[in-house]
Amino acid sequence: MNELLKNKLMLFGVAVVGLLGLAAIFAPFIAPYDPAKIDIPSALLAPSSQHIFGTDYLGRDVFSRMAYGARISLSIGFIAVGIAILIGIIVGSIAGYYGGGIDAAFMRFVDIMLCFPSFFLILAVVAVLEPSIMNIMIIIGITSWMGVARLIRAEVLSLKEREFILAVRALGSSDLRIIIYHLIPNAIAPVLVSAVLGVASAVLVESSLSFLGLGVQPPLPSWGNILMEGKSSLGACWWLTLFPGLAILITVLGYNLLGEGLREYFNPRR
């Protein structure tokens, strides 16, 4: 714990992640205005004491929309990563435990999935399906599990030959019980690091999709579609792109710093 506290960059990441989480949870309390309320006379007002992040072309308060957007963007990130982690753990643990032909088949499928550029694969699927929050969560999750599968497989390959696993097998435990209760809990540390980094990646993908008009659809706010709505006024109304862009930057930076700190802490060479 003392070593974690000495890592200043990681502490910055923890602070950023914590503040963003609180902003998402308490968005109804910190947002001074209804994020969907249209007020045309107040359209495109610069940042002031009344609207600290200004207003957009419909007079909606940008700070309020960003507070609610944090809830949507982070929710998509967490659920998408949860789906990816679940698929990756199942595939990686089965491949690593059984080995042989099962391992070869699973890993070749992982290699095939990795051949496709993830973002373009996501674009292709979103173009076919209706853009919605649920679809985006599922699509990001089912296109980003391959790294987790490889991590789990490598850990299981190492762990399954350890003495405690051999002892549990000798006692007659089933393969399923060995995988769930003994292998996965001991192989989860690198997955936690991957999950933290995955949240940053998922937020970035969601923002990119929303910026292209294929993600969260208005009037629901997300950082990506706030950016999209502000691009037409980029020269005159700088606040419409600056603040959501900074929010995405700081979020990705915070989660990356937290993930790197955890990776250093869990590194067996440390």
Structural domains of the chain in order of their starting residue, each with its CATH number: 2-266 (1.10.3720.10)
pLDDT of the residue at 191:
87
pLDDT value for 237: 82
pTM over 0.95: no
At 93, the pLDDT band (50, 70, 90 cuts) reads very high
pLDDT in tens, 10-34: 788 888 888 988 988 898 889 888 8
Q: Is it the case that residue 144 has pLDDT exceeding 80?
A: yes
Name beta bridge partners: 61. Answer: 55
* Sign of torsion over alpha carbons 229, 235, 241, 245: positive
Kindly indicate the confidence band of residue 112, based on its pLDDT and cuts at 50, 70 and 90: confident
> Where in the chain does DSSP place strands (E)?
none
φ, ψ of residue 221 to 5 degrees: the values are -90, 135
Query: Residue 46 corresponds to which tokens in the numbers above?
Result: 């610069």
Q: b/e string for 7-31 if b means 16 or more Cβ within 10 A?
A: beebeebbebbeebeebbeebeeeb
Structure tokens belonging to residue 104? 């070869």
Query: What is the pLDDT, as a whole number, of residue 79?
Result: 92
Contact between 193 and 259 (Cβ < 8 Å): yes
pLDDT of residue 58: 86
Are 223 and 248 within 8 A, CB to CB?
yes
Burial of 100 (0-12, 13-18, 19+ CB in 10 A): exposed
Distance CA 101, CA 159 (A): 19
Rounded Cα gap, residues 144 and 181, in angstroms: 25
Q: What percent of the chain has pLDDT over 70?
A: 96
